Structure 1
Amino acid sequence: MTLTHPAYGQVRQVTPTAAVLLADNPGQMTLDGTNTWILGGPDAAEYVVIDPGPQDHAHGAAIAEATGGRIALTLITHHHHDHTGGIDRLVELTGTAVRAADPAHQRASESLLRDGEVIEAAGLSIEVLATPGHTGDSLSFVLDDAVLTGDTILGSGTTVLEARDGALADYLASLDKLVASGRGKALLPAHGPDHADLGPVAEYYIAHRRERLDQVRAALSQLGERAEPMDVVRVVYADVDQRLWPAALSSVRAQLEYLHTHG
């Protein structure tokens, strides 16, 4: 039987070189849970792991079992705990080196991941693509036939933006980079189901952000240019579950900063 998402506790092959192991940490912000990706070329004796997931001993053990402990390298898409909480457990079980853009998550490596770097491991060439917006340290990883997008593009819904100056401008540039690098390639996100082609999903994300900006502009016309961000949330996200409004507030702060800077 062919597995489909979500398949907890089971390794699901998605492309010839990428399989996924879904952590059992579903929630409003994690969707069905965190996808840990296990990569390897057809003749490779080792694997590359993308995001060990949350601090969950069972999930760490499942990654170790799926790889036979033969992990050439573990890569981190960004610093959030549902992606990095499992680092030390996986290191304990397998001895894997870990590389990230944030030095707090490096293990047995002094070289931080950098934009444009190409990693040769597990029979694969993996290009590192800086894709900030969701967080300042967000990275995507480009393979010949797929792109691992972390939380920059999700398998369903849209992502939350960091409430910092320049976050939305960075994010729109990141989406453009992903369209250029990933059109025609599979989308392998950190949450939600995979997609056969990244291009249409990324283009939807761009259109969605432009639409949200128009909605924020309209809210400011109604509320006044000095409206508080939460008042904008109440207007723009009126049809969204109020439990998600704190996350929406972060995105609205980024949108307001963008409009004040770019008009």
Structure 2
Amino acid sequence: MEHPAYSQLRPISPSVGVVLCANPSYSSLEGTNSYIIRAEGDSRSIVVDPGPEDEGHLNVLHRNAGEVAVILLTHRHGDHADGAHRFRQITGAPVRAFDKTYCTLGAEPLADGERVIVDGVTPQVEVVATPGHTADSVCFFVHTGDGGDEDVEGILTGDTIAGRHTTMISETDGDLGKYMATLRLLDERGRGVRLLPGHGEDLPDITVMTRKYIERREQRLTQVREALATLGPDASVNRIVDEIYTDVDPALRHAAEQSTRVALRYLREHGEIPEAG
């Protein structure tokens, strides 16, 4: 079975399968990837990112997941998390997230470095804080045992690595500097490990995307620096976008403006341009 495959479980590795939600868009590509973690013979499962509140998708997810021990969220955005409350009602399983606001049934918030270990599920899920896209973003390293990185079967990245295109940095609590550090961490720990992204197709080696993402971010920062050198340090976001994105699709201009504002904030924080008056 190949990607995309809606409304059915697509096995990816011995311990991980994915159910693709039919919510395609520019940002979500073919849709949201909802993951089921369970080894052969396991009596229970762990579900990651049940997706939007789509009753059909949640029912398909439940049918394939069987008895769900816990629901984990990579971050708060609706296309990953809005269905969590309803899925909790369907399954009776608690929801756990890095931000305690999104936890249910008295569940503890996720902690960086924690191993999620539950009865009836063989794989262990390591929680790795990966701020940048949002402050509450985490990645999940699926371990086949209780060892180190040598037994990681795959890394679930949510929107930290979202698929074919680069991810947006939230203007409310995202941070480009932290995001670059996150990408370098994943590049170092993920060599040869399968990428299991929040959107798009899985890849056999996560570093193919981490290096692409790092290069793209560094390229954009260089372009903003050059635009400021040409236009002056007080240049508006619109003028900088016009200078850099010479052929941007009008439908995507808001994304270019957001990316530019995030880059300007990064450069100010690092003392490369003066604080806005």
Q: If the TM-score is normalised by the length of the shorter chain, which range does it land in? A: over 0.9
Query: Aligned partners of 2:239 and 2:99: how far apart in 1?
Result: 34
SS of match in other structure, 1:48: strand
The DSSP-based 3-state class of the residue aligned with 1:21 is: strand
Is 1:126 the counterpart of 2:134 in the alignment?
no
Q: How many residues are paired up? A: 260
Distance 1:241 1:106, change over 3 A: same
Q: Is the 8 A contact 1:21 1:36 kept in 2?
A: yes
Q: Please say if residues 98 and 106 of structure 1, whose CA atoms lie closer than 8 Å, have aligned partners that are also in contact.
A: yes
1:48, distance to aligned residue in structure 2 (A): 0.6
Q: Tell me whether 229-238 or 218-227 shows the greater mean CA deviation.
A: 229-238
1:242 aligns with 2:250: yes
Q: How does 1:216-227 map to 2 (within 5 A)?
A: 216-227=224-235
2:56 to 55, 58, 64: 58
**1:162 shift after superposition:** 1.8
Could you tell me which residue of structure 2 aligns to residue 170 of structure 1?
A: 178
**How big is the shift at 1:165?**
7.6
C-alpha distance in structure 1 between counterparts of 2:173 and 2:36, whole Å? 34
TM-fit CA distance, 1:182? 1.3
Percentage of matched positions with identical amino acids? 41
- CA shift at 1:67, angstroms? 1.4
Is 1:213 paired with 2:221? yes
Partner of 1:255: 263
How far does residue 166 in structure 1 lie from its aligned partner after superposition?
7.1
Tell me, in whole angstroms, the C-alpha distance in 2 between the residues paired with 1:240 and 1:195. Answer: 28
The residue that corresponds to 2:99 in the other structure is: 102
Summarize deviations over 1:16-51 as a string: whole Å, max 9, x none: 111010001000111111000111123311111110
Per the normalisation by structure 1, the TM-score is 0.94
Indicate how the Cα distance of structure 1 residues 240 and 4 shifts in structure 2: closer, same or farther if over 3 A, else same: farther
Are 1:101 and 1:137, in contact at CA under 8 Å, matched by a contact in 2? yes
Match of 1:36 among 34, 37, 41: 34
CA contact 1:19–1:37 (8 Å) conserved in 2: yes
Identify if the C-alpha distance between structure 1 residues 247 and 214 changes in structure 2 by more than 3 Å, giving closer, same or farther: same
Structure 1 unaligned blocks of 5 or more: none
Residues 23 and 161 (structure 1), Cα distance of their counterparts in 2 relative to 1, 3 Å cut = same
Matched, 1:83 2:91: no
Is the 1:166–1:258 Cα contact (8 Å) retained in structure 2?
Answer: no
- For residues 165 and 73 of structure 1, do their structure 2 counterparts lie closer, same or farther at Cα, with a shift above 3 Å needed? closer
C-alpha contact (below 8 Å) 2:133/2:170 kept by paired residues: yes
| Counterpart-to-counterpart distance in 1, 2:251 and 2:139 | 29
Taking the aligned partners of 1:60 and 1:95, their CA distance within structure 2 comes to 13
Task: Kindly state the Cα deviation for residue 110 of structure 1 after the two structures are TM-superposed.
Answer: 3.4
**What amino acid is aligned across from residue 102 of structure 2 in structure 1?**
H
**Contact 1:185–1:198 (8 Å) recurs in 2:** yes
Residue 79 of structure 1 aligns with an amino acid whose one-letter code is: R
- Can you list the C-alpha shifts for 1:190-247, whole angstroms capped at 9, x where unaligned? 0111100001210111111111111111121222211122332233233332212222
Given that 2:94 and 2:107 are in contact with CA atoms closer than 8 Å, whether structure 1 keeps it comes out as no
Inter-CA distance 98–168: structure 2 relative to 1 (3 Å threshold)? same
For residue 156 of structure 1, report the CA deviation from its aligned partner. 0.6
**Tell me, what secondary structure is at the counterpart of 1:145?**
strand
Does the CA contact (< 8 Å) of 2:134 and 2:173 recur in 1? no
Distance 1:257 1:165, change over 3 A: farther
Decide whether aligned partners of structure 1 residues 164 and 237 sit closer, same or farther in structure 2, where only a CA change above 3 A counts.
farther
Counterpart CA distance in 2 for 1:164 and 1:225 is 23
Read off the aligned partner of 1:213 and give its amino acid letter.
L
Q: Secondary structure at the match of 1:66?
A: helix
Between 1:88-97 and 1:56-65, the stretch displaced more is 88-97
Instruction: Note the residue ranges of structure 2 that are not aligned, 5 or more in a row.
Output: 143-151, 273-277
Asked whether 1:14 is paired with 2:12, we answer yes
Residue 180 of structure 1, CA deviation: 2.0
RMSD across aligned C-alpha pairs, in angstroms?
A: 1.5
Partner of 1:185, secondary structure, is: coil
